[in-house]
Structures are given as structure tokens and as C-alpha cells.
A and B are shown apart, each in its own frame.
Chain A
Amino acid sequence: MGPSGVGTSVPAPAGERRRDAVIRTEQLQKRYPGAEAPAVDHLDLEVFAGEIFGLLGPNGAGKTTTAGMLTTRVVPSGGRAEIGGVDVARHPALAKQLSGIVSQQNTLDRQLNVWENLYFHGRLFGMGSRRSRHRADELLQQFQLARWAKASVYALSGGMAQRLMVARAIFHEPAVLFLDEPTAGLDPQSRLVLWELLGELNAQGQTILLTTHYMEEADQLCGRVAIMDHGHLLALDTPAALKQSIGADTVLTLKAAGDAAELREKMAAALDGVTASRTVEGGAQLQLRGIERLVPRAVAAAEALGVDLIDLSVSEPSLETVFINLTGKELRD
């Protein structure tokens, strides 16, 4: 018997889907009472089975609100959202069978130990005692928490608590695993461990939707990324395509004494292939095509203009660059 009895009791939604969209939103909207602007504004999304989908955006972009609506915690004020063909606003209890959630805060049951946190989650989702016990043991092994099985959840480090929350969230084999800022507050080591873990889960077929404001996380982990700001969807594609879309293949950052705006203007004019430019703290950043002999060219141009260069760095465009081009501001707070 398959663990989730695929599509036995609930009929497939009317109308065949092009690809297997597990999540679908149409003009999804949320305006909190008393708020001037909607937190999520006419959002159209599709997340397909088996992908890691990232919602990337700065603080207040509406990422948690979007995930909240999909997981039935936030009541939409307009539009539709479906998960597995189930309308989340109309059938929240049904939709909850399909999602596993790792929220921004630690929501582990403080009265239960590590193992029990998993076991009772299984029971909650209708697994029998034997199966829950077996799967709890199995997952503790897989997530390298077996040593802590009998420990209080207070004894866990941030990274371990996060892993336990992920283990709990996938316990009942949800159609979608939701993670809200999964690595916020984790040290770099724990972050890597978690990324690896999510990669493995995804390789086993787990569909994942995560929110993040780390462009690196979105870049490394996600198959497709939706960039959000002020509740709006600004762009949606694979990280590679998003980066390509800016039309530049190199980002040149210059630091120099003197007026940054002037530096930007002069250098942008002096170098070939500049597609966009902006001022940054203490200097300018140029996006351009053609990395060929860029450093000597830039240095020469600076010499010719009489610019006193302090620092110069060359990098590839990142999702940060994409975000900046879309919004004119940086992703980091």
C-alpha cells in the first residue's frame, strides 16, 4: 500500500492541468484589516510537483502572508488558492492534509521529547501507532537526531530544532513542504546542513516551497524563484534565467574617493557594454557585458579620468542584482 493512497477518496479537480501544478494561485490577495496597502496583491503562481520553489523578497514583501494563505492560517481577501486541487479557503481542513509546515518560529511541543514530537505528529495525521513509531525512529536516524530522541526539545540547538521541525513537517508525506525563512538565525554550518537535507528530500520527490530573503539560498536551492516586493510578483523564473534577463554578465564594483554619482556617470560612459549602473556606498556599481580584460580596462579608464580608485571588484550577476534592477533597492535590510 502506498503511504498516501494517491487520489483515492478525493476526485481530481475538473479540467486537466498542463503540468502537475501542486500549488496554484489566481489573483490571490490579502489586505490585513486596517492596512493601507495589500500585503499580497493579485498574485498568480503555479508550483509544480517535484520542484523547489522560492519566494524571494525583502522584509514585508508578503512572503509569509502568501505561505500563510496556502497553509490556511491567513484568510485570503480575494482570489483563489489551491493546493492539490483543493481550494484552501473553502476546504482548509482538507488542504491541511497536504501540507507540511516549518514556520519562522520554533513551534515544537515543549511538553514532549524529541521522539514524541514526531510520534504524535504521525498520530495526528492518522498514522497508526506502529507506523508512527517506525517512522519516528527512521526520521531521527535520517536527520541525525537519534542521539537526542529522549531529550527535551529545550536541549536542542537552533539548527537541530530546525531539523526536527523539518522531520516533523515531512512525517506525513505532505504534497508540499512549506518552509518560512528556514535558515534565518542559523549559523553558516547549520545552514549548509539544512540545504543539503532539503536537496535530498527534493531528490526523493518532495515538492518544496520556501520563502527567504537570502538571495544565495534562493540561488543555490531553488529550481524556480519568484521575486516579490510589496505584495507584488516582480519576476518568476529559474535563477539562471533571471540572472540572464538583466542582459549583463558581469558586475563591476568600484570604490573611490569623491562624488559617487560623478564616478558612476564617468565610468559608465568610459567603459564599453555597460547596461546599467548605480551608486553604492562609497562608489559605483556597473553591470556590463564582456568580462574580457575588464580589470585592466577599468583601471586604465579610471587613470584617464583622474579617478583615485580605492577598491575594485568583479563578480557575476546574482539574484541580488536582479532584485536591484527590478526595484532600485537592495534586498538586504
Chain B
Amino acid sequence: MAVTETPHVIGTRPPRSVAAASWTALGALLLRDAVVLRKHVWEFVLRTLIQPFLLCFVFLFVFPKIGQNIGGRGNAAESNFATILVPGVVGISVMFQGVQSIALAMAQEFGFTREIEDRVQAPCPIWLVAVEKVISGTFQGLLSAAIVLPIASVVHASGVQAHLALHWGLILTLVPLAAVAMSGLGLLLGTSFEPRNIGLMFGFIILPITFLGGTYYSFDRLAAVRIGGFHWLQTLVLANPLLYVNEGMRAAFTAAPHLHLYVVYPVLVGFAVLFMSLGLRNFRRRVLS
């Protein structure tokens, strides 16, 4: 290997094509994210598990113990609720991963650290920097689904058991699709909110999405909520992207009733495309002036 110690002429023409430079830049950005994830792997695991663990602990362990049952009395009813809740918990984790790994990180990088200014100097188109974030967020979403499912399915009181039925074809397609859509949501939120408004984002976007996203109940049961003949809540939650994630998880992990897959797939694809395109547009606007 030749080490240049003498002064040499610095090139004044771009040494590589945009495609080649972009490709290696994408790899480097992913590598950087992987290294950062590895550094904070326990933080990642704990952060990912805490919410699912608490949900299952309270609803599937404490409630049955103290007789404050959800879903009806008796182990059978409680188990039915567990079957609804466990996939919901996986879905919500995938969403939180998208929000945490992208929206929060971006709010910080756009905010006081201004790190984003350096990141977009990468020798590739600006959109690729945002897409890389989504790829890395998707990967983290998959990772969290993989660690949350086993934990969520073992935290329960004795006699209460979620009836899981793994459909691998759905798992391998729906979980990644959900992770992409939720990372897209993270990109959109991260580029829409000023860092100082992150509290607002949680209060007015994340909370409603999680509570009205079919995590604790399945869509078909919402039919009972109506004014006259109008199933208003069922209609309202159709606008919630998390609903499709959770119903998809139900389809993938259980034999419980769920929204038709021919609704879940296209709507998730639609949300993914919508979030990504709005997110990329925002990203560009925030980076360029």
C-alpha cells in the first residue's frame, strides 16, 4: 500500500459517478447506524421491551389476578383478550420503533445539533439520506417485532394464554411492510415537528394513534359503538394507519378475526407511499433553502 506523504495534486473533478458514490454512501450510512445501534444495544432492547412488557404485565397478569377482568370472566375469555392484545403489542412496538429511531433522532439532528447538515453533504442525492433512515428504521422495527413477540406471549397469569398461530407467509410480508409504513410515519413526523414541539407530537398524534389503533381490541368489535345505525368509531379508526398494522399482526400471528388482507396490504402500501413522499418532501424543504 502506498502511503502518500509528499504533497500531491488534489483532483478537481468528481472522481466517481453519482450512482457509484451514492451506493457506497448508502452502505456507509447504514453501517454507521448499525454501529450506533450496537453501541446502544441494551438501551435499544430495554426501550423496545418496556412498553410491551408493562402492557402484558398489567392486562394479562395483574388484571386476571385481581379479578378485574377484561374480555369477560374466566380463563377462556381472558385468553381471548390475550390473543387480541399480543399481536397488538407487537404492532404498537413496530410503530414506536419507527417514531423513536427516526422521528426523535431527526428532531434532534435538525434541531440543536445540526448534524443533519453534515449528513446531507454525503456525495449522494439528498433523498437517499432520508431513505437510508427509513431503511434503518425498518430494520429496527423488524428487530423489535422479533424480540417483543416472544416476551409478550410469555408474560401472563397462569391459565391465561394467547392463542398464537404463526402464518409465515404473512409474517414475512406484513411485518416488513408494517415496519416500512411506520418508519415512513417516523420520517413524516420527524420532518414535520420542530424539536421543541415533540411533546405536542406525542400528545396529539402518537397517543390518539395508539389508543385508537386497535391495539387493545379488534376492529370488528368496534361495530358495537354506534349512534343509531352509524358505526362512527369504526369509521373513524379507518383513518388510523396503526389499525392496519395491528390487524395485519392479528392475521399473521393468530387465528383471530381481522380485517380482510386485501384491505390490509393495499392500505399499508398506500400509507407507506404517502408517508414516504410527504416525508421526503419535508426533508428536502428542511435541508435546502
Flag A1-34 by CB within 8 Å of B: 1 or 0 each.
Answer: 1111111111010000000101000000000100
Q: Which residues of A in the span 196-248 have a Cβ within 8 Å of any Cβ on B?
A: 203-207
Main secondary structure of the interface of A (DSSP, over half): loop
Flag B1-45 by CB within 8 Å of A: 1 or 0 each.
Answer: 111100111111111111011101101110110011001000000
Shortest Cβ distance from residue B217 to the other chain A in the assembled complex, whole angstroms: 38
Residue pair B21, A103 in contact (C-beta under 8 Å): no
Residue pair B32, A112 in contact (C-beta under 8 Å): yes
Residue pair A91, B18 in contact (C-beta under 8 Å): yes
Residue pair B16, A97 in contact (C-beta under 8 Å): yes
Residue pair A6, B13 in contact (C-beta under 8 Å): yes
Q: Given contacts A93-B21, A93-B125, are A7 and B13 in contact (CB under 8 A)?
A: yes
A222 vs B32: C-alpha distance in the bound complex, in angstroms? 36
| Contact partner, B10, options A73, A96, A173, Cβ 8 Å | A173
Residue pair B14, A86 in contact (C-beta under 8 Å): yes
Residue pair A111, B11 in contact (C-beta under 8 Å): no
Q: Given contacts A74-B288, A108-B115, are A22 and B12 in contact (CB under 8 A)?
A: yes
Flag A140-155 by CB within 8 Å of B: 1 or 0 each.
Answer: 0000000000000000
The answer to the question of A41 belonging to the interface, with a C-beta cut-off of 8 Å to chain B, is no
Residue from B7, B12, B117 having most chain A Cβ neighbours under 10 A: B12
| Contact partner, A123, options B3, B31, B289, Cβ 8 Å | B31
The answer to the question of B170 belonging to the interface, with a C-beta cut-off of 8 Å to chain A, is no
Residue pair A97, B21 in contact (C-beta under 8 Å): yes
Residue pair A96, B121 in contact (C-beta under 8 Å): yes
Flag A46-83 by CB within 8 Å of B: 1 or 0 each.
Answer: 00010000000000000000001001011100000000
Shortest Cβ distance from residue B215 to the other chain A in the assembled complex, whole angstroms: 31
Among residues of A, the one whose C-beta sits closest to the C-beta of B14 is A97
Flag A168-183 by CB within 8 Å of B: 1 or 0 each.
Answer: 1000011100000000
Tier of interface size on chain B: 35 or more
The answer to the question of A297 belonging to the interface, with a C-beta cut-off of 8 Å to chain B, is no
Among residues of B, the one whose C-beta sits closest to the C-beta of A65 is B289
Q: Which residues in B have some Cβ–Cβ distance to A below 8 Å? A: 1-4, 7-18, 20-22, 24-25, 27-29, 31-32, 35-36, 39, 113-118, 120-126, 287-289
| Contact partner, B8, options A2, A105, A112, A116, Cβ 8 Å | A2
Q: Which residues of B contact A106 (CB under 8 A)?
A: 113-114
Residue from B1, B25, B28, B125 having most chain A Cβ neighbours under 10 A: B28
Q: Given contacts A107-B115, A123-B24, A126-B21, are A4 and B11 in contact (CB under 8 A)?
A: yes
Residue pair A10, B13 in contact (C-beta under 8 Å): yes
A9 vs B16: C-alpha distance in the bound complex, in angstroms? 6
Shortest Cβ distance from residue A247 to the other chain B in the assembled complex, whole angstroms: 37
Flag A280-320 by CB within 8 Å of B: 1 or 0 each.
Answer: 00000000000000000000000000000000000000000
Residue pair A124, B28 in contact (C-beta under 8 Å): yes
Residue pair B114, A103 in contact (C-beta under 8 Å): yes
Residue pair B122, A96 in contact (C-beta under 8 Å): yes
Q: Which residues of B contact A97 (CB under 8 A)?
A: 14-16, 21, 123
Total A residues in contact with B, Cβ cutoff 8 Å: 59
Shortest Cβ distance from residue B151 to the other chain A in the assembled complex, whole angstroms: 26
Q: Which residues in A have some Cβ–Cβ distance to B below 8 Å? A: 1-10, 12, 20, 22, 32, 49, 68, 71, 73-75, 84-86, 91-99, 101, 103, 105-112, 116, 120, 123-126, 130, 134, 168, 173-175, 203-207
Q: Given contacts A4-B10, A6-B9, A124-B123, are A68 and B114 in contact (CB under 8 A)?
A: no
Residue pair B36, A112 in contact (C-beta under 8 Å): yes
Shortest Cβ distance from residue B33 to the other chain A in the assembled complex, whole angstroms: 9
Shortest Cβ distance from residue B126 to the other chain A in the assembled complex, whole angstroms: 8
Q: Given contacts A93-B21, A96-B121, are A205 and B32 in contact (CB under 8 A)?
A: no
Residue pair A49, B12 in contact (C-beta under 8 Å): yes
Residue pair A3, B122 in contact (C-beta under 8 Å): no
A108 vs B113: C-alpha distance in the bound complex, in angstroms? 8
A168 vs B29: C-alpha distance in the bound complex, in angstroms? 15
Shortest Cβ distance from residue B11 to the other chain A in the assembled complex, whole angstroms: 3
Task: Using A3-B4, A98-B14, A207-B12 as known contacts, list a sample of 16 further A-B pairs with CB atoms less than 8 Å apart, ordered by residue number in A.
Answer: A3-B8, A8-B13, A32-B289, A73-B287, A84-B14, A85-B12, A93-B124, A94-B123, A96-B123, A103-B117, A108-B118, A110-B113, A110-B115, A116-B35, A123-B27, A124-B123
Shortest Cβ distance from residue B213 to the other chain A in the assembled complex, whole angstroms: 30
Residue pair A107, B114 in contact (C-beta under 8 Å): yes
Show 24 residue pairs from A and B whose CB-CB distance is below 8 angstroms, ordered by the A residue. A3-B4, A6-B15, A9-B13, A9-B17, A68-B289, A71-B121, A93-B125, A96-B124, A107-B113, A109-B115, A109-B118, A111-B36, A112-B32, A120-B35, A123-B24, A123-B27, A124-B25, A124-B28, A124-B29, A125-B25, A125-B123, A126-B16, A134-B1, A175-B11
Q: Which residues of B contact A91 (CB under 8 A)?
A: 18
A169 vs B217: C-alpha distance in the bound complex, in angstroms? 53
Q: Which residues of B contact A74 (CB under 8 A)?
A: 288-289
Q: Which residues of B contact A101 (CB under 8 A)?
A: 118, 121
| Contact partner, B9, options A93, A203, A205, Cβ 8 Å | A205
Q: Which residues of B contact A94 (CB under 8 A)?
A: 14, 18, 123
A15 vs B121: C-alpha distance in the bound complex, in angstroms? 29
A112 vs B35: C-alpha distance in the bound complex, in angstroms? 9
Q: Which residues of B contact A116 (CB under 8 A)?
A: 35
A175 vs B14: C-alpha distance in the bound complex, in angstroms? 9
Q: Which residues of A contact B124 (CB under 8 A)?
A: 93, 96
Q: Which residues of A contact B123 (CB under 8 A)?
A: 93-94, 96-97, 124-126
Shortest Cβ distance from residue B136 to the other chain A in the assembled complex, whole angstroms: 12
A12 vs B2: C-alpha distance in the bound complex, in angstroms? 27
Among residues of B, the one whose C-beta sits closest to the C-beta of A32 is B289
